[in-house]
Amino acid sequence: MAIVFKLLGALALLMFGMKSMSDALQKMAGPSLRHVLGAMTTNRFTGLLTGMFVTVAVQSSAATTVMTVSFVNAGLLTLAQAISVIMGANIGTTLSAWIMSAGFSFNITSLVWPAFLIGIILIYSKKYRIIGDFLFGVAFLFFALGTLNLTGRELDLAGNEAVVGFFASFDPGSYITILLFLLIGTVLTVIAQSSAALMALTMVLCTSGVLPITLGFALVLGENIGTTITANVVAMTANTQARRAALSHLFFNVVGVFWVLCLFYPFVGFVCRIAGVDPVSGSQSVTGMSFALATFHTAFNVTNTLLLIWFVPQIERLVCSIIKPRKAEDAEEFRLAYIQSGIIKTPEISVLQAQKEIGLYGEKTRYMYSLVLGMLEPGADRPSITARIEKMEDSSDNMEAEIGNYLAAVSDAHLSDSTKGKIRSMLRQINEIESIGDSCQSLARILNRTSGPDGPAGTEIYSDIHGLFYVLDESLSSMNSILDNPEQLPAADYKRKVRIICSGLRGRIMSDVDEHIYPYAMGTVYTDILNECEKFVSYVENVMEARRGAKLRTENLPVD
């Protein structure tokens, strides 16, 4: 029992070491890691290389995949980009298997103690704490690998007749046995949430001589399916595109396992020839068995990626047909449609694409405001609608940042005065549209404080505020029309109109409170609504002014 607990403890230490390494590397990379994922995925091949190198850097395919899914959720990556990054992550994760193979090949624990010493010094220095955390993760990883290697020998599984008899009862030449061990590998990986831990356990069993190398390969295939569950669990609460990205990861690995099963024994023979291992009798060398498992893991992921990288559009269409968006959810997703991070064309085309993106940004913001209008209806689920608006506002912030970064990148080029003026105007437009989103969120929160149709909702002031909200909706409609066609004049002076309405309503609120039509606290809520409405319409007017001003400045520029 002591040896068994030592084995399980070593696996736990291995998982902790991998997580510590991954967390420290992600902190060291910081925002640059996110920038790399966003900017270096211009096509499927650069996406593949990006996913591979990022996974090698953070030593966790799960971290890369979860990060990719979160970027898709935020609208920073397209689905096609995400699929190629995930394929690259599958190749990058093979490095972990080679590290473990090295741990089983020689006594790696001699490297642990200097790493612990240097790590603790750096941690207490504070300035280099993250580097110290990384070294501690490396030390724990190596210590766990060394412990697993020694524990496997202490267990002497090859001398345990019961264990040997149990594994000998399975026929490595039977497809049913292969499928059974594939299922076992999948389930154990899902439970442990770590393919690295299961790979280490597989190496312990194979190097001990009790598990045939063929069944070890079957466990590795199961681990590749089980590791996709993490991203799918994370994506359960995400938007449609993020769930599709996670499903594509599962589909990619399942398809790979399917074709390998169809060619299982020839593929096993090919890998064993490379590793110098007999697929029937295995190898008496610990190094040979661990090397064979790492080789199989790499051969599977690299070959599968090289085969499926050509079918990214087809995989995208398939997952889109399986996971269909709800109309409301699709409307609530802020995603770039005309520009992509990292792709800068000629300045004129880039500016045109950015202006189209701003038009889409305005339309999405108006949809957010339509949810605010829905809160005024009797029986509306205000807390639920407020939560949806807050989620959209977070996505709106991301969209503003991406358009702003794109325009900043365009402005680095040699531009004419006309184009520079357009970019300044567009930067102001996205800033004001983002402020409209903030105002929608504020209005939603204020409306959440009202008591609903049973109290002041039935009063005359409530009806007038309802009408004021529709004036704001008209102003948004006019703003979007001008974003599309700057030569169009606004239908009315909305800022002045709203100011006049709010001025009259403030006097009525004071009178209603004096007459005890509703309590003072509700009067302050209504006043807050009026203040926010005035801010809202100012933002809308600023967008229209910026869009029309850019057009006028361009027309009035002197001709060379």
> Do the beta carbons of residue 543 and residue 429 sit within 8 Å?
yes
Written as one string, the DSSP assignment of 413-450 is S---HHHHHHHHHHHHHHHHHHHHHHHHHHHHHHHTTS
Confirm if 389 and 364 have CB atoms less than 8 A apart: no
Torsion, CA 301, CA 302, CA 304, CA 307, rounded to 10: 170
Reported in sequence order, the residue ranges of 372-420 that DSSP labels E, i.e. its strands, are: none
Per 3-state DSSP, the chain is made up of helix, strand and coil in percentages (nearest 5) of 80, 0, 20
Q: Which two tokens stand for residue 512?
A: 């209603």
Residue 160 confidence (pLDDT)? 60
Predicted pLDDT of residue 557: 38
Region at 7 (left for phi over 0; alpha for psi -120 to 50; beta for the rest): alpha
| pLDDT values of the chain reduced to their tens digit, one per residue, 560 residues | 676 677 777 777 777 776 776 667 666 655 555 555 655 556 778 778 878 877 776 666 666 777 777 677 666 677 888 888 888 888 887 887 787 776 666 666 666 778 788 888 887 877 778 888 878 877 777 777 677 666 666 665 555 666 667 777 778 778 888 899 899 888 888 776 667 777 877 887 787 777 888 888 898 898 888 888 767 776 776 667 778 888 888 898 899 999 999 988 888 888 888 877 777 665 555 567 788 888 888 899 899 999 988 888 898 889 888 887 665 555 556 666 667 554 445 666 678 778 888 988 898 899 999 899 888 887 788 888 888 888 888 888 888 888 888 888 787 766 777 788 888 899 999 999 999 999 999 999 988 877 544 344 456 777 788 888 989 999 999 999 998 888 877 777 888 999 999 988 888 888 888 888 888 888 888 899 999 999 999 999 999 999 887 444 444 434 33
Helix axes 347-374, 417-447, angle to 10 degrees: 10
| Cα–Cα distance, 351 to 554 (Å, whole number) | 14
The model carries a pTM of 0.59
CA 457, CA 469: separation in Å to the nearest integer? Answer: 14
Sign of CA dihedral 103, 223, 64, 234: negative
CA atoms within 13 A on the CB side of 64: 31
- Which sequence spans correspond to the domains of the chain? 2-160+172-322, 330-555
Beta carbons of 480 and 366 less than 8 angstroms apart: yes
Token pair of 107 as six digits: 């006594």
Strand partners for 282: 278
Specify the CATH class of 330-555 in words.
mainly alpha
DSSP state of 512: H
Contacts of 101 (CB under 8 A, 6+ apart): 203, 287, 290, 291, 293, 294
Taking residue 95's Cβ as centre, other Cβ atoms within 10 Å add up to: 17
pLDDT the model gives residue 530: 92
Half-sphere exposure of residue 142: CA atoms within 13 angstroms, side-chain side: 18
User: Which pLDDT score is estimated for 525?
Assistant: 86
Q: What span, in angstroms and rounded, lies between the C-alpha atoms of 77 and 54?
A: 15
- Which residue's entry shows tokens 């002031």? 461
Q: Which residue has the tokens 């996205």?
A: 430
Q: Which amino acid is at 559?
A: V
Q: Which of 160, 225, 144, 151 is nearest to 188 (CA)?
A: 225
Residue type, position 235, single letter: A
| Cβ neighbours of residue 290 closer than 8 Å, sequence gap 6 or more | 100, 101, 104, 105, 203, 206, 207
